Amino acid sequence: MDLETRIRRNKARVGIVGIGYVGLPLCVEIPRAGFPTVGIDVDKSKVTAVSKGRSYIEDVPSRDIKDVVDRGLLEATTDYRACSRCDVINICVPTPFTASKDPDVSFIEDAGRRVARHMRKGQLIILRSTTYPETTESVLLPILEGKGRKVGRDFHLAFVPERVDPGNKTFTTRTTPVVVGGVTAKCTRLASAFYRQVVDNVFPVSSPRVAEMSKLLENIFRSVNIALVNELAQMCERMGNIDIWEVVAAASTKPFGFMPFYPGPGIGGHCILIDPYYLAWKAREYDFHSNFIELAAQTNESMPYRVADRLLEVLGTNDIPASRAKLLLLGAAFKRDVEDTRHSPAIKVMEILLDKVKRIDYHDPYVPELDINGRKFRSRRLTRAALRAADCVVVLTDHSCFDYDTILKESRLILDARNAIKRRGRKKLYTLGFRPVRR
């Protein structure tokens, strides 16, 4: 039975290399589609958790992991020799950047070498890690083609960008369309056939580099538009008596040609912050300088500093010396209703303020503890007494579980960097993108 037939009959055995934020959801959806699956990771704690039916990612309930484990459809191991038993292998490893904002594809290279040691003829390899165009063909393909192997003849290779949106209950792994770009036409056909068994919609494209670029476009689109509104927010503050939140609401009444984006303390997570730098780095190889894209990324990265400066302004306006100020920061995750703190702007704000104020406490029901610059912090209970004790309460992540009425009532001063409270006319409430000026 050839690979395509095994895929269409749900007989193919599937490997998932890297069972983190991208790989773990696949450890549920692929077995649910009927494919026997093995998760492979160098992290023994993740392997142990999966083997026991426990999840370590909020969006993936433990009951879902346990269900497919108990049905014998999912196992986990640290042993890459399991790759030899697989017909389809998904590589879902991290792609961070270096301190100098250059791409770090060492995880892809390491995973590729480990997979290559245990490859057999006819396998389909799918790279799912977000990366710059040409990575699949210039980084991973040469590794896999070692020992005389040839893509399209001895194995098949495709890129399928991940589209995980932490906390999104509407668009899940199954309901979010996937883009598929194979090195050869047959690679594309096989990868598309596989994912049509797993997700609702598949969109094939002509090459891996098109698929890679499409992923970067999705995230850079958001980065640029968020940067635009962050810059306009600062302009509104400078001009006075123009509320950027009211401006966006007004512009949003146009039924065509406008999409609302909102200011905030910065962007976080894995993709939107990193992807502009991945593309800018690759563009320089072609003597092309993506100034517009890089400027947007720099604008967004500057926002935690702007929030810190705005807080110091608020303290000064209310005659509170920063050196004696006690702050209560609400939210540490990078976005609403998730536990993910990767590149969180809230944490960056905390880092900036540590040596500028007397005391910082934080509350986040999703993030019980933090280590910031070697200092340990634990989320404190959000009580009326805690709100009253703070010289200023700062909303950095707008979790839906926060009682904003109580926060407004009990706090002495509030800087709401997310416009979560959405009330004006209160002397103690300040936001980004609005500064009242008496004329």
- Cα dihedral 240, 336, 372, 108 sign: negative
Q: At which of 174, 206, 238 does a domain end? A: 206
Q: pLDDT value at position 425?
A: 56
> Is 212 inside a domain boundary?
no
For the entire predicted model, the pTM comes to 0.93
Residues 75, 48 share a domain: yes
- Are residue 178 and residue 229 in the same domain, yes or no? no
211 domain residue, yes or no: no
- Domain range for 100: 3-206
- Give me the pLDDT at residue 393, please: 98
Same domain, 164 and 224: no
Q: Looking at the DSSP assignment, which residues form a beta bridge with residue 205?
A: 181
- Show the low-confidence residues of the chain (pLDDT under 50): none
Last residue of a domain, one of 165, 184, 206: 206
Instruction: State which of 176, 206, 236 marks the end of a domain.
Output: 206
- To the query of whether residue 27 is one of the catalytic residues in this protein, the response is no
Residues 197 and 226 in one domain: no
β-pairing, 392-395 vs 326-330, is: parallel
168 and 300 assigned to the same domain: no
d(CA 398, CA 418): 6
Whether residue 213 is contained in a domain is answered as: no
Do residue 91 and residue 147 come from a single domain?
yes
Tokens of 360: 């910082």
Q: Which of 27, 92, 271, 392 is catalytic?
A: 271
Whether residue 35 is found in the same domain as residue 88: yes
Does residue 395 fall inside a structural domain?
A: yes
Query: Which pLDDT belongs to residue 439?
Result: 62
**Per-residue pLDDT tens digits for 107-117:** 999 999 999 99
Amino acid at 291: N
Half-sphere exposure of 164 (CA within 13 A, CB side): 23
CB 143 within 8 A of CB 109: yes
198 and 234 together in one domain = no
439 in a domain, yes or no?
no
Burial of 74: CB neighbours in 10 Å, binned 0-12, 13-18, 19+? buried
In this structure, are 241 and 388 located in the same domain? yes
Backbone angles phi, psi at 76, to 5 degrees: -140, 150
Q: Are 47 and 39 a contacting pair, CB within 8 Å?
A: yes
**Same domain, yes or no, for 196 and 227?**
no
Q: Is residue 115 part of a domain?
A: yes
Based on the fold, state whether residues 45 and 144 are members of the same structural domain. Answer: yes
Indicate the residue type of 363. Answer: H
**Predicted confidence (pLDDT) per residue in 165-182, tens digit:** 888 888 999 999 999 999
Q: Does residue 366 lie in a domain region?
A: yes
CATH code, 385: 3.40.50.720
Please indicate, yes or no, whether residues 198 and 260 belong to a single structural domain of this protein: no
Number of domains in the chain: 2
Q: Is residue 437 part of a domain?
A: no
